Amino acid sequence: MPGAAVELQGITKAFPGLLANDAIDLDLRAGEIHALLGENGAGKSTLMNVLTGIYQPDAGRIVMNGAPVRFASPKDAIAAGIGMVHQHFKLIRAFTVAENIHLGWPDTPFRTSAALLESRTRALSERFGLLVRPDARVEDLSAGEQQRVEILRVLARGARVLILDEPTAVLTPGEAAALVRALRGFVVSGYAVILISHKLDEVLEVADRVTVLRAGRKVATLRAAECSQAQLAALMVGREIGGRRRGGAGPRRVGPIVLQLAGASADDERGVRALADVDLSVHAGEIVGVAGVAGNGQRELTEVLTGLRPVTEGQVRIGGRVMFGADPAAFLAAGVGHIPEDRLRSGLAPSMAVADNAVLREYRRPPVARGALFRPGAALALARRIAADAHVMVPNMRAPVRNLSGGNQQRLVARREMRVSAQALVAAYPTRGLDIGAIDTMLRYLAEMRDRGVGVLLVSEELDELLGIADRVAVLFGGRIMGVFPAGEAEPERIGLLMGGRAEAA
C-alpha cells in the first residue's frame, strides 16, 4: 500500500494585492499521476513553485515521510527528491543535450570528457524511455526533444517526485503519447508525478487523481475514473459551462488579398532551406488555417509574413504591396499583427513592466505618442485597457510581465497584436496554454476579426480547431504547401496523410 510521497498542508502564498494560494491541502501518493487543474491564474504554478523551494509559503507546511520539511531553494527540493520541469524551458541553447543534463550536477567533474557525459546521458535515456540525442545542440531540437532533456535533467538528479507544468502544450500528439507512456512507466516503479494541464481529455486518460484549484483555493480532489470532463470544467470555473462553440458559418464573401507569398523560399538559422517555393494568400475577411506537424516550416512561414525573416526567393506582399527585406516595423506599419509561437522569447520582454509590454507595439502612435512626445499617462491608460480586454487581472502594471501566469501572458500578447492587425493577423498556436474558457474566447476573437475584414493566418496543430474555424486549410510539410482546401471539403484523413508528407494518389 503506497503511502503519501509528499503532503502539502494549508499552503498560503500572497503576492502584493493578490492571494495566489489560499490554504491549499494536497497529498501526493507514491505510484500515482496526480493532475492539477485550474483556470489561467488559478495558482497552479505558484503552488508548485512553493513545493520546489522557489517561493517560501506565508503559511502552511510541506510534509515528507511524516516529518515537516523546509526547502530554502530548488536545490533543497531536488536533494529531497522533488524536481520540476517548468512551463518555460530553462535549457542553455548553445550547449549539447549531454552538457545540459549534467550542468551543475555536483558529482560531475566539470572538465570531464564529452564522451563520458554522452554515454551517461544515453544510459539515462534508455532507463527512462525518453529518447534524446546526447551530442545534439539544444538550439537544434524540437520542443518535444527539449522537453525530454528537461525531464532527464531532473531525473538525473534523483527525483522521485516529478512535477510537469503543462508539458504537452508544446508537443505534437505523437510526442505527447510517448511522454504519457514514459510517465506511466515512471510511476509503476514507485515514483510520483504531478501533471499540470489544460487538456481535460488527456488528464482523464493519464491521471489517477485530479485536484482542481479555483482562484487560489482548492475546490476538490477526485479520482479520475469517477469524473467527467464537464464536471471538471464546471469545478474549474465554478458554474456549468456550455459545449464548445463551432465556427463554420458557411461560404462568406471575402475581400481582396491582404497577405500573400508568391514563390517564396526562406532559410532557417543554420542556413538550411526551411520554406520552399510557397504560394499562399489570405483574403480580407478570411481565416486560412495552416495544418502540419511543428517543425515543418511553420516558424519561418510566420516570420517571413511578419518581417522577422527575409525571403531568399520570391515575394511577400501586403495589401498588394511588395515588402523588401526583413523589417518588422514596416510590417507593423502596414497593419500586420503577430502572435508568435514563443511568447517569452519573441512576444514579450519578460523583465519589463506589464504596462510597457502591453503598449510595445503602439508607443509611437497616438494616443501614446503625440508627435515625438511620449505620454506616460496615456500609455498606462491604454495598457490598462488592453489588460482588461484580455481579461487579465493585473494588480500592479509596473510589475515585470514574467510575474503574470503563463496563460495570462498569452492573452495579453494576443490582445495587443489584435489591436495592430488592421490588415492581417498572423497567429501561431494562439490557444496554447489557455484554459478551456479562454480557448473559446480566443477563437471567438479570431472570428470577430475575420468579420471585421481582417485576414487571419492561423497556425495550429489542432486539426479540430482549424477545421472548426478556418475558411480554408493549407497543409505544410517539409517547408512546402502540400495542398489548400476549403475547410468544408477537407477530410481529416486526407489532411493527416498530407501532414505526414504523403502526396495525394492521383
Ligand X SMILES: Nc1ncnc2c1ncn2[C@@H]1O[C@H](COP(=O)(O)OP(=O)(O)OP(=O)(O)O)[C@@H](O)[C@H]1O
Q: Interface with ligand X by CB under 6 A: which residues?
A: 15, 18, 20, 38, 40-46, 399, 403-408
197 binds, among Mg ion, ligand X, none (CB under 5 to 8 A by kind): none
Q: Indicate the residue among 197 and 405 with the shorter CB distance to Mg ion.
A: 405
Residue 390 contacts by C-beta under 8 Å, 6 or more apart in sequence? 408, 411, 412, 414, 415, 416
Q: Which residue's CB is nearer to ligand X, number 120 or number 415?
A: 415
Shortest reach from residue 163's CB to ligand X, in Å: 12
Select from Mg ion, ligand X, none the partner in contact with residue 163, using the beta carbon and a kind-dependent cut-off of 5 to 8 Å: none
Rule CB under 5 A: is residue 406 a binding residue for Mg ion? yes
Query: Residue length, the chain?
Result: 506
Smallest gap from Cβ 158 to ligand X, in A, equals 26
For ligand X, the closer of residues 170 and 454 by Cβ is: 170
> What residue is closest to Mg ion based on CB?
45
197 makes contact with Mg ion (CB under 5 A): no
Q: Which grid cell is 128?
A: 527512462
Count the alpha carbons within 13 Å of 56 in the hemisphere toward its beta carbon: 5
41 binds, among Mg ion, ligand X, none (CB under 5 to 8 A by kind): ligand X
Which residue stretches of 421-469 are H helix?
A: 436-451, 463-469
Residue 202 C-beta: closest distance to ligand X, Å: 15
**CA atoms of 293 and 21, how far apart (whole Å):** 37
Of 320, 329, 341, 326, give the one whose Cα is nearest residue 457.
Answer: 341
Q: Binding of Mg ion at residue 285 (CB under 5 A)?
A: no
CB-CB contact of 484 with 505 (8 Å): no
Q: Name the residue number minimizing CB distance to ligand X.
A: 407
Closer to ligand X by CB, 167 or 406: give it: 406
Burial 26-45 (b: 16+ CB within 10 A, else e): bbbbbbbbbbbbbbbbbbbb
Cα separation of 392 and 343, whole Å? 16
CB of residue 435 vs ligand X: minimum separation in angstroms? 6
In the bound state with ligand X, the residue whose beta carbon lies nearer, of 383 and 495, is 383
Q: Residue 344 — φ and ψ, nearest 5°? A: -75, -25
Reduced to 3 states (helix: H, G, I; strand: E, B; else coil), residue 28 is strand
216 binds Mg ion (CB under 5 A): no
Among 5, 20, 45, 218, binds Mg ion (CB under 5 A): 45
Residue 44 CB, shortest distance to ligand X, in Å, is 3
C-beta closer to ligand X: residue 268 or 462: 462
What 8-state DSSP symbol labels residue 251?
-
Q: Is 146 in the site for Mg ion (CB under 5 A)?
A: no
CB closer to ligand X out of 38 and 144: 38
297 binds, among Mg ion, ligand X, none (CB under 5 to 8 A by kind): none
CA distance 401 to 492: 39
- Angle between the N-to-C axes of helices 406-420 and 376-389, in degrees from 0 to 180, rounded to the nearest 10: 110
How many residues touch Mg ion under the rule CB under 5 A: the total is 3
Query: CB of residue 90 vs Mg ion: minimum separation in angstroms?
Result: 15
Q: How far is the CB of 439 from ligand X (least distance, A)?
A: 12
With both helix axes pointing from N to C terminus, report the angle between 436-451 and 229-237 in degrees, rounded to the nearest 10.
Answer: 80
Report, in Å, the least distance between residue 248 CB and ligand X. Answer: 28
CB of 375 to Mg ion, least distance (A): 34
Nearer to ligand X by Cβ, of 90 and 253: the residue is 90
Residue 46 contacts residue 55 (beta carbons within 8 Å): yes
Considering CB distances under 5 to 8 angstroms, the limit depending on partner class, which of Mg ion, ligand X, none binds residue 38?
Answer: ligand X
For ligand X, the closer of residues 21 and 423 by Cβ is 21
Sign of CA dihedral 343, 296, 248, 203: negative
- Nearest 5 degrees, angle CA 106-CA 109-CA 114? 120
Binding interface with Mg ion (CB under 5 A): 45, 405-406
